[in-house]
Amino acid sequence: MNVVLIDYGAGNLHSVEKALLAAGVPVRRSADPEEAREARALVLPGQGHFGQVMRSFERSGFAPVVADHLASDAPFLGICVGLQLLTRGSEEAPGVPGLGVLDAEVRRFPAGAASVPQMGWNQLWPLGAPALLRGVPAGAFVYFANSYYVTFPAGAVPEGAETIYGATRFLSAVSLGRLHATQFHPEKSQAVGLQVLRNFGDVVRGDAP
């Protein structure tokens, strides 16, 4: 199983790598786009300001590699801002385009409805039957650290999961083919997070669609 954890300066790599290994997913960290191009599966983490992360990602040379990987429907996992980078763009950084892989935008939680950022545990409610969430019960708690969330046009919401924060119901996981991404942090979500990462390992091995 050839899984590459993309190192483009996003931080949080050690905890993601450690959690993947604990879940039985043999991963290696790489800052080399050409090495990532040969991988069967890619993992894209991210944390921080959308504009800064997107610019760092573009400078790294990984953007065309990830675009080609996703175009081939190869296994992929995005985490936190690693999900948001796949969209057209974010209210956090107007004028900075995302990768545009997902027909979606990133919006800020409305003020006053709940404390922003969302920091801590919240629940997952599956949409459809995504392979990434096999064995994860409805209502399971996972860990979030986000001020922004991904939104799709009406009628175009993919499989995945949703979460309710204050008055906002938002997508906390997205699954399209072998593209999987989470707004929550599986590497910080204890047993549930490890199950999510094991499921991704099954996708990579071909044990799940």
Marked catalytic residue, from 69, 92, 105, 185: 185
187 classed as catalytic: yes
SS3 call for 180: strand
Residues 26-35: contacts with CB within 8 Å, 24+ apart? 26/1, 27/3, 28/3, 28/4, 29/4, 29/5, 30/4, 30/5, 30/6, 31/7, 31/60, 33/60, 33/61, 33/62, 33/64, 33/65, 34/65, 35/4
Marked catalytic residue, from 17, 92, 159, 187: 187
Rounded Cα distance between 25 and 60, Å, is 24
Marked catalytic residue, from 17, 69, 80, 180: 80
180 classed as catalytic: no
Write the CB contacts of 111 (distance below 8 Å, at least 6 apart in sequence).
none
185 classed as catalytic: yes
| Residues designated catalytic | 80, 185, 187
